[in-house]
Chains A and B, each alone.
Chain A
Amino acid sequence: MTEPLLDPRLQRDLDRIWSPEPGWRGVLTNVNHTDIGKRFMIAAVVYFSVAGLLAMLIRAQLASPRSAFVGPEIYGQIFTMHGTLMMFMFAIPMFEGLALYLLPKMLGSRDMAFPRIGAYGWWCYVFGGAMLLGSMLVGKAPDGGWFMYTPLSSRTYTPGINADIWLLGATFVEISAICAAVEIAVTVLKLRAPGMSLVRMPLFAWYMLATSLMMVFGFPPLILGSVLLEVERAFGWPFFDPTRGGDSLLWQHLFWLFGHPEVYIIFLPAAGVVSTILPVMARTRIVGYGWIVASIFALAILSFGLWVHHMFTVGIPHMALAFFSVASTLVAVPTAVQLFAWIATLWQGRPELKLPMLYLLGMFSVFVMGGLTGVMLAIVPFNWQAHDTAFVTAHLHYVLIGGFVFPILAGIVHWLPHVTGRARIPRLGEAAFWLIFLGFHATFLLMHLVGLMGMRRRIDTYDAAAGWTAINLLSSVGAFVMAFGFALFLADCVLQRVVNRRSGQSPWGGTTLEWATAVPPRSYNFASLPAVSSRDPLMDEPRMAVRLARGGGYLAATRYGWRETLGVDTTTGRILQIVVLPGSSALPILLAGATGSFFLFMLAGLYGLTPLSLVLVVAISWRWAWTTGSTSEHGELPAGLGSSVPPHFETQDTPGWWASIFTLSANGTFLASLIFGFAFLWVVAPGWPPPACLGPIGTETAIAILASTAGSASLAVARRMVQRGSLGNAIRLGAAAAAGMGVALVAVAAIAFGGTLPIVTDHAYAAVAAALLAYVAMHLALAALMLAYGTARIGTGYVSPRRSHELAIIGQWTHYATATTLLILVILFLAQSCR
């Protein structure tokens, strides 16, 4: 380990508190962000390798006409799993892993805001990925393409469990992604070094903040689509069946509402890597910091307005096509702003052609070409010609490999010495780069041509008379060259880890805080926490690592065995609280196991057992929440360098409060997508009006709204009672609030089961109405449970006038349940007149 001399007593204490348990138990209970981040990245590389092997099978099949290498059924599974693994199991988890590993170090924190959530996300990813990989081994892998279009993926045309594996496996993995998104957003906003205001943040943190917010709003439409399609397949509720009031286009809308932002969810973190590494390679500061921040947000939000360009050929009127064509071309502008900022940085600096720089230059050429073909595809007449051809396949690989893989490879080369503590082996990496770069262009540049010649994507074979043979053969040769390059890159990384010499403290001369830790880092990152006064703290103070290691920063002492880091004001970076983080625990793996059992029961058709999984999830979550907080008051505690602040559970602006806001935002997007689906089917789908409408629901609606509103009001008064120290009254009011939610739940159940709802398998109208009622019921039940929990916490001394932040979070969920009850029941009340 390369590390400045550490205060030995401080080191011993910190090691005792932060190190994971030894042995297998440690593997299962570890929640440390460095280890979880590394696990994510290693697993992502494994999935990348599997998906890469599948790509080789595709190219082997297409290398010659009338090939019998694999049959059409297996070919369908191969290209579906290639896309699925690359998008869901490699790209997103890879940058999640990078963010989990890097962000706390870069921001000057000792861990992520929710270490156990990170570990839970990891186990969900492992279990979901195991479902997908296992399906390949038994020949039941998804085979409907990675965007699972209906009606191909409906029960009629995909009767086996192939599509169910995709829907359930991908949804399971998406839980992991949402967890990571919330954790990343809160960490960036709350767990920065003192003095690190937003405009002093490293650009990587800005990129990750925008990406995580995009995930919060981008993933719920796909989760909703997957849930609806799985319900249709399992129980026959016809959301996508046009013969019963559904519409296949609803799936396309929901999928691409996720799918297009997904491209930028993948690109933005990679651009963050570029913006971090490029100034280091150019030995200067980044040019246009403010412009880049503005373009990140422009890109992030513009990307949500482009989804229809994937549907240009489905028969949309010209005016709507024009809206989305304009939006699709506009998105090139913020991308170009970033590219010009990077070019200006190179121009301003003295670039060195080291290996990370080679990959960055590769990124420039490949990504710009992908962007240009993207502008071509944004133009409607061209899109109509090239739609679903190999041209689109080539375009998306230029964008994704140029915009994600090359920057990530640059990032791996750049930060691997930080992870391993060892220097890289000269020249091996350069050889790998050239094989990848040349092999890539040989594969995909030619694919544009064959696409323009009319070759459709996803076909398993073709006739020699089509004239595509030579191009396909060259593409296949290029693909194998590229595969050799990736294998060599992997060998370089493994050899560096195993055999090479020690690395220096900062081998590239990086100026961000991750280079102020030991290399490789200790479990607590910093012996004492830094304060920063600029965007390049190590440029200002090159020997910061030494000062921090000797205890010259914040929190340079331990107390109560707590895992401490600092919480700051989201904008200014002013210290607000000492955040006490949870330690190693088996709860994340247990909760992931319980969650996984739900998906497995669904997959096996054992629907009657799924309530057991839900009970387990609730019980473990309750236990999880109960292990946090404190029953005693601490007041302001010394945080070092003359400052004193309270622990986070004695403040209101806590990481948990922010996490709850972001989770509710994702939840609200899920609901908004469902309401959009209802409106879309009502207005656009064939087979409307439905054969039967909802019966009279006025009484149940009134009871549910009044009871939930009373519950919310009771909680508000209960919180006031807590502030006044009247805990007995608060307990009674909390119990009353829970009862109010329970009454509302019964009223909603009466609508669902009281005979007013038409038969849900008859028409999409009843199916969506039932889905909306299920959403309300679930949230009312959740609110009742949380209120019961809050009441129990008051009764056991975890809540006091100073320690009331948990009630604030419970309040958010209770009020949300009330608001959605009101909204949905009013919608259904109005929808009674459906004919």
Chain B
Amino acid sequence: MRTVLAIAGAWLVWAFVLAAMYALHGMACAPGGEADEGRRITMFWSLMVGIWAAAVLAALLMLWILWRGPSQWPGGVSRKVVAGSWVAALAAMLLTGVPVLFPQACG
């Protein structure tokens, strides 16, 4: 089950980031929310960028641990599958988060 969790973990982090960014975006754009204040840099926007950056760093850290820590992890196919999943999830996190750099959040 550890192997299953390690593979799924990469994508669970991605799912968490997407859900969190969407939720923050919803709150930011709600009637009476920050969007009505007209500022570009807002608390919710900063949180979205922060979560995005933290997730990317977490994925990089995980890959570094996989690269460096030979003894604690399963070898062979399991290890390749886990590492491949984290690389792919990292790419997905990078791509999915790009819209946070759009000039307008609520347009």
Contacts and interface: CB of A to CB of B under 8 A. Distances in A.
Interface of B is mostly: helix
Q: Which 9 A-B pairs have CB atoms at the shortest separation, nearest pair first?
A: A322-B99, A301-B11, A570-B1, A199-B77, A683-B30, A290-B77, A317-B106, A305-B18, A290-B81
Contacts of A683: 26-27, 30
B95 A326 contact: yes
B65 interface: no
Given A198-B4, A305-B15, 15 more contacts: A198-B78, A199-B76, A213-B8, A294-B84, A298-B88, A304-B15, A318-B107, A319-B107, A320-B22, A323-B96, A324-B22, A326-B98, A326-B99, A330-B96, A680-B26
A382 interface: no
A213 B3 CA distance: 15
Interface in B51-84: 74, 76-78, 80-81, 84
Interface of B: 1-4, 7-8, 11-12, 14-15, 18-19, 21-23, 25-27, 29-30, 74, 76-78, 80-81, 84-85, 88-89, 92, 95-96, 98-100, 102, 104-107
5 contacts: A199-B3, A199-B78, A305-B14, A323-B18, A326-B95
Contacts of B102: 318-319, 322
Nearest to A658: B1
A330 B88 CA distance: 10
A189 interface: yes
A294 B88 contact: yes
A571 B1 contact: yes
B13 to A, nearest CB: 10
A293 interface: yes
B21 A323 contact: yes
Contacts of B78: 198-199
A371 B25 CA distance: 29
B25 A317 contact: yes
A130 interface: no
Contacts of B29: 317, 320
A428 interface: no
B25 to A, nearest CB: 5
Given A317-B29, A684-B30, A302 B92 contact: yes
A291 interface: yes
Contacts of A319: 25, 99-100, 102, 104-107
Contacts of B89: 298
B84 A290 contact: yes
Interface string A276-318: 0000000000000111011001101110110010000000011
Nearest to B85: A294
Nearest to A322: B99
B77 A289 contact: yes
Nearest to B76: A199
B37 to A, nearest CB: 16
A690 to B, nearest CB: 15
Nearest to A337: B88
A317 B30 CA distance: 11
Nearest to A200: B77
B88 A326 contact: no
Nearest to B30: A683
B95 A301 contact: no
Interface in A308-353: 308, 317-320, 322-324, 326-327, 330, 333-334
Contacts of A570: 1
Given A199-B77, A319-B105, A323-B22, A293 B95 contact: no
Given A319-B102, A326-B99, A301 B25 contact: no
Nearest to A333: B88
A762 to B, nearest CB: 21
A104 B79 CA distance: 27
A533 to B, nearest CB: 14
A616 B20 CA distance: 42
A209 interface: yes
A571 B80 CA distance: 16
Contacts of B92: 298, 302, 327, 330
A327 B80 CA distance: 24
Interface string A597-635: 000000000000000000000000000000000000000
Contacts of B1: 189, 570-571
Contacts of A318: 99, 102, 104, 107
Nearest to A302: B11
Q: Which has the most chain B C-beta neighbours within 10 Å: A317, A327, A571?
A: A317
Contacts of A324: 22
A294 B99 contact: no
